[in-house]
Amino acid sequence: MSDKYTDAIEASKVITDDAAVTAAVNKILDDHIVENKNADVYKFLFNCIDLTTLKATDSPVSVSDFTERVNAFEEEHPELPNVAAICVYPNFAQVVRAVLEVSKVDIACVSGGFPASQTFPEVKVAETALAVDGGADEIDIVMNVGNFLDGDYEGVCDEIEELKAASRDCIFKVILETGALKTAANIKAASVLAMYSGADFLKTSTGKEFPGANLEAAYVMCQCIKEYFEKTGRKVGFKVSGGVSTTADAVAYYTLVKEILGEEWLSNEYFRIGASRLANNLLSDILGTETKFF
């Protein structure tokens, strides 16, 4: 049965043959990755990091200390750009807001029953609104993957739209959980639905229950973002997260974004990397000595 959701998915021309996607990724990296292995790219990538702590052991003290390291980085390395944001659970938004002294670093909060998106819709809305009230600049929610795999596209989109409204003026990122979606066809469909429901960013993964980001998923998502921009004129950002810990990993994703989406997406307004370990690895490569700042 045709409806506006399936019509939007079927209207997309993005390739969904998994073997073809892998071949396209390999060609881009073979042709272009070497040119991006340099200090300027590493500095740019550092400035795109959502520095993340999402642990059961997080506390007001530990999150405060985590935030103080970002403040200290500004003082100790004024020659380098800082991270893009600090990403925490929503109950810590107020802690980061109280401690953070760096004006160009945003506060991002996961919300909406992160990481499984398994709670009442009313709870997801309330959690999102409370995060915003606590000082969040950005909201990262997880698409309802179970409903998506059941084919309940209307339910998926209605919930995204409701959480977008609850996030008010925040940058609104929708996590597709690509490791659960598995196929290029599913990733394309989820990307299309999320963007048409108001996502400001598409994000790959939570990094929790399922495999994290992979280059094939990123390729499909970036192609969907490109197609959506060509159709609507609206630029949607791309965030890769879940297992991106080495400089080589980050450069590979940068290369895909640069070659598919172009220079316009090469700012932290439209490209982010959710990471905790990556920051120290990039710093080590930028400074030329092993560094464990964060």
Instruction: For residue 239, indicate whether it is catalytic.
Output: yes
CA angle 187, 219, 54 (to 5 degrees): 70
Q: Which pair of structure tokens corresponds to residue 244? A: 């991106």
Q: Which pair of structure tokens corresponds to residue 245? A: 């810990």
Which residues contact residue 144 at a Cβ distance below 8 angstroms, ignoring those fewer than 6 apart? 117, 155, 156, 159
What's the rounded Cα separation, in Å, for the pair 109 and 128?
9
Among 173, 203, 249, 258, the active-site one is: 203
CA nearest 266: which of 20, 101, 40? Answer: 40
Asked if 118 and 158 count as a contact pair (C-beta separation under 8 A), the reply is: no
Which residues contact residue 152 at a Cβ distance below 8 angstroms, ignoring those fewer than 6 apart? none
What's the rounded Cα separation, in Å, for the pair 32 and 158?
40
What amino acid is encoded at 55 in this protein? K
Among 239, 249, 258, 285, the active-site one is: 239
Among 50, 106, 137, 140, the active-site one is: 140
What's the rounded Cα separation, in Å, for the pair 102 and 118?
34
What's the rounded Cα separation, in Å, for the pair 140 and 245?
20
Region of 233 please: left (phi>0), alpha (psi -120 to 50) or beta: left
- Supply the DSSP symbol for 36: G
Instruction: For residue 203, indicate whether it is catalytic.
Output: yes
Instruction: For residue 43, indicate whether it is catalytic.
Output: no
Known catalytic residues are: 140, 203, 239
